[in-house]
Chain A
Amino acid sequence: MSTPSSSDDDIDVLHPAPAPPLPSPSTGAAVVTKSILPPVKSRSSKRPLSLSAPTGPDDQTFTAFLHDEVGITRPIVVAEAPGSWSVKDLVWKHDPSGRARTQRSPLWGLVDVYVLKGSKDVYVRCNVCALDGVETFLFLQGGQTSNGTKHFETTGKGKGSPARRGDHLLAALYLANNLKGGPRTRLTAADGAITQFMRTADRREHHVRFVLMQIMTSSSHAFATSVYVRSFLGGFRINYAPPAFGTVTLHLSELASFISSILVDLFTAAANDYMGVPWAHVCIDLWTAPGSRASYGAVILRFTDLGTLAIKQKSLGVWACPRKHNHKAIVKWQQEVPGRVGISEGDIASTTTDSRSNVRKAEADLDAPWIPCAAHALNVAVRKALGASGESANQRAIRVAAGGRAARRHLRACPNSAARELLPGFAQQQRSSSTQTRRRRG
């Protein structure tokens, strides 16, 4: 008691019994191992994680309970609980049987319960504060124990007398080691390590963010289950495991459903602004995934926002388009997909695609004007020009054959078939350059 800074020593002075130093008040009780617990004789009779084991001082006096179970070994005097507690003209009555009613939480062993008729809320008086002559009443809404747990932790880290802080820390440790029911924020592992415990309600937010990260990195589910990721998360001493496959699918659906609802709102607002004028310009194309038979089509939607006259482009992602990619299938697919985000056929002002025959034939069947993609067309023009494709296939074959082995050798070098025929020297150089690049990197 002589120096306020050395609270641990003060307790030792009061209790010469062998007791290891308590955790520093500043570190809190978040990560405390059992090795620093004071010796507790009756510990063997307890099963800390058992939900059925009796808790609290029912079978013993409160003093003995504090000494044996909580570990407060200094000489103490237990003050009598007052019969009632008044708040805002309401009188809460002491209920000696309150603890027996909810045996599952160990908190009830450390407090006296005050109830009000017709209310599920309770007030509790902290019996550990009472040891120092301090009357502390805590409001537990609906009888939830979280405020009580918080009281022991914060008082332990707070500005009270060293003895009071020490007592509360011991009580907080007792609560953390005896988790039974009620909302939890800590988890005691088999080795006695106490870690943050994540409630189900909190976990969802992290799961959704995890799924979003998986989306942005295009990572597979194997990523979530990999040992490395688990140990990475374990390093934070937070009891969080990445979501299981079913949960991933659920949250992915939630994200997609949320986005599609936003898009529907956005497009509905645009349709209202345009007052009947077709406003949506779509870009579509079909694509078969490499290495699989799955086939998709992409839909991009562009429109001018009438308020700001700024062009907005929204991608609707890729959508499955199974079966043949013939014009009938494309027409049906194109009529159906924009409808999923609330765009009717009358809203579509134009369609832009490349000029492949199947797509062009499909667009001829649709009402909206078709715009051939300018970039694709230019690409075709350049490729034809570089390939000098004015000559027939036969003439070209003759020209390549006439070049002898040297001419044919370049055919392997350049991925652009048109360019490599025209530019033997260039193709040769490309090979040289790639060799050089490899050499330099090597």
Chain B
Amino acid sequence: MSAIIVSGDPAIRGLVSEVATRWGSTYLSLARLYSMWPRLSIFFRSTTLTADQRKRLVIHRDWDKMRHLIAILTPVFEVTKECQRTSATLADIFSIVVALRKTLLLDTIAAPKFPEHPLAVGSDSIESFLQENPDDDVIELDNRLYPSEAVYMETRDGYESLCEEAAVAVRIMRDAIDRLFFNPKDNAKNWLRNPSVLSAVLLSPGGGRMLREVGDWVGIGDPTAEAETAVLETAAKLQPTAEAFGGCGSAGPVRSTAGISELRVTARSSLVLWQADVSPQRELTLEPRRVDRAAREELSRFRRLSDSAMAGDAMEFWRAHRAQFPALFDVAGSVFGAVGSSASYEREFSIAGRLVAGDRSSLATASVEMHSLASSNADLLPFVTAFVPSLSHAEAATFRETMNGYVPSTDEAEAGSYDVHTDEEESKEDEQLAVGWEPYD
């Protein structure tokens, strides 16, 4: 097939197949197949095909199904990819999951038209095409631009609608997303009941408004009160010292400004108020009650500001407003660290999988641990290896023992020799919990 020359799309590419363990590989393989249409159609027109090759002809009906499946998989793929970004916060993921739900609930969805030659190939030419034709309905697949059309999700006479398979898939996907992300019967599977998600969304600019609207739309009610409780619970754990507060944010400069009366300083910042209350004889730790009051006050101020703010990058917002919300700032830092996707450990297992390959399966556990720790954090090592402190053999042995110090509890130890129960067995044991869930990787 590489000998076939397609005008305007000279890149030689092969078809890609699915990988069971790779997220989005079904979409990727379909998109590649779609973009390979010109080459495939020339290939199947050849008169020298064997009977076996001819049997594999992709018929018109299949192309139609395929483009509809691409249409419904594209938004999911986008969201999955966005989730895996290392710096994606829970608020980011929440908003795109909501966007996905909205997309799937619309009447129509954008589907690529029946395959033809691409409108533009490569990022430069796609950019220039979009500049010239900003009003065209287009969709980008596999680094190529194709014309698209709106297709109705449900069958409607006189209009293009999704094929039966794709329509069923959309219906199942809608149910699955509601069940997995907005499940009113199970708080663990309801992102609008998850304190981490609620705090992260609430502390994003425009997040409070979004929570209210999404809560109403999904039919769960306004989760703002819960979100506020979650934020304040985290803030209650704050044990700031008066010293630390004096030194952080803009509080320091305000205090040190010469020529301003103490009263005016107090009037300018609530932060200084707490500090002024701390007598030097007392413990430097502020009373929890005061912190709580301050956090409440900051939260209500933040919500007023946030409701009027446009939704934007939460990190940028907090960098700019750090001085205004000194107590809430730490809480925001904490909640934005939360991870919405566990793609990172799957990568870790890939590294470990390459290490514990078939021919090295008897590698010592401690070696695997040390190896994976070092390879994941090689950026921390100095360029000159002589700077790595040397250990004696005894010290190294002690270190290995501490590292590999996990001792299973006694009842497990009694259970037998080193049995690794697979997840399937576990699922059977916990069948009640596992309703509707399957091990999938």
- Residues of A whose CB lies within 8 Å of any CB of B are 204-205, 208-209, 212, 215-216, 218, 220, 246, 249-250, 252-260, 262-263, 273-281, 283-285, 287-296, 298-300, 302-306, 309-311, 313-329, 332-333, 336-337, 340, 349-350, 352-358, 360-361, 364, 369-386, 388-390, 414-416, 419, 422-423, 425-426, 428-437, 440
Contacts and interface: CB of A to CB of B under 8 A. Distances in A.
Given A306-B330, A315-B377, A361-B433, A375 B23 contact: yes
Contact of B15 (A325, A375, A386, A436): A436
Contacts of A384: 172-173, 176
6 contacts: A289-B356, A377-B181, A378-B83, A386-B26, A388-B168, A416-B25
B412 A328 contact: yes
B237 A277 contact: yes
B270 interface: no
Contact of A255 (B84, B97, B381): B381
B372 interface: yes
B399 A382 contact: no
B122 interface: no
B80 A379 contact: yes
A317 B338 contact: no
Of B333, B339, B399, the most chain A CB neighbours within 10 A belong to: B339
B341 A352 contact: yes
B165 A361 contact: no
A263 B329 CA distance: 24
Contacts of B79: 374, 378
A323 B374 contact: no
A218 B359 CA distance: 12
A92 B243 CA distance: 62
Contact of A372 (B180, B357, B413): B180
A336 B405 CA distance: 9
Interface string B34-75: 000000000100000000010110110110011001001100
Interface on chain B toward A: helix, strand, loop, or mixed SS?
helix
B263 interface: no
Contacts of A285: 342, 345-346, 349
Contact of A252 (B165, B176, B370): B370
Interface in B416-440: 418-423, 426-427, 429-430, 433-434, 437-440
B381 A309 contact: no
Interface in B384-398: 384-386, 388-391, 393, 396-397
Contacts of A325: 420-423, 426
Contacts of B188: 360, 364, 370, 372
B296 to A, nearest CB: 16
A253 B14 contact: no
Contacts of A428: 55-56
A309 B339 contact: no
Contact of A259 (B65, B381, B412): B381
Given A298-B352, A311-B337, A277 B406 contact: no
A283 B396 CA distance: 28
Given A318-B348, A357-B437, A374-B93, 15 more contacts: A278-B234, A278-B237, A309-B319, A316-B376, A318-B369, A322-B408, A325-B421, A349-B234, A349-B334, A349-B337, A354-B441, A356-B427, A372-B189, A373-B340, A436-B14
Interface size band for B: 35 or more
Of A253, A384, A386, the most chain B CB neighbours within 10 A belong to: A253
Contacts of A260: 373, 403
Contacts of B434: 357
Given A278-B334, A318-B348, A332-B408, A381 B339 contact: no
A275 B399 contact: no
Contact of B403 (A295, A340, A376): A340
A255 B370 contact: yes
B58 A425 contact: yes
Given A215-B374, A253-B400, A324 B421 contact: yes
Contacts of B354: 218
B93 A279 contact: no
Contacts of B69: 386, 423
A296 B368 contact: yes
A323 B406 CA distance: 11
Contact of A382 (B26, B62, B171, B240): B26
A381 B359 CA distance: 36
A401 B335 CA distance: 51
Nearest to B170: A385
A378 B76 contact: yes
B87 A311 contact: yes
A254 B396 contact: yes
Contacts of A437: 14-15
B114 interface: no
A372 B426 CA distance: 18
Interface in B343-368: 343-346, 348-349, 351-363, 365, 367-368
B196 interface: yes
A244 to B, nearest CB: 13
Given A205-B386, A426-B30, A322 B406 contact: yes
A79 to B, nearest CB: 44
Contacts of A423: 65, 69, 165
A315 B367 CA distance: 16
A389 B172 contact: yes
A315 B348 contact: yes
Contacts of B20: 415-416
Contacts of B415: 323-324
A72 B362 CA distance: 61
Interface string B186-199: 00110000111100
Given A255-B370, A285-B342, A313-B86, A215 B196 contact: no
A326 B420 contact: no
Lowest 4 A-B CB distances belong to which pairs?
A433-B15, A317-B372, A432-B56, A381-B176
A317 B237 contact: no
A230 B45 CA distance: 56
B239 interface: yes
B176 A313 contact: no
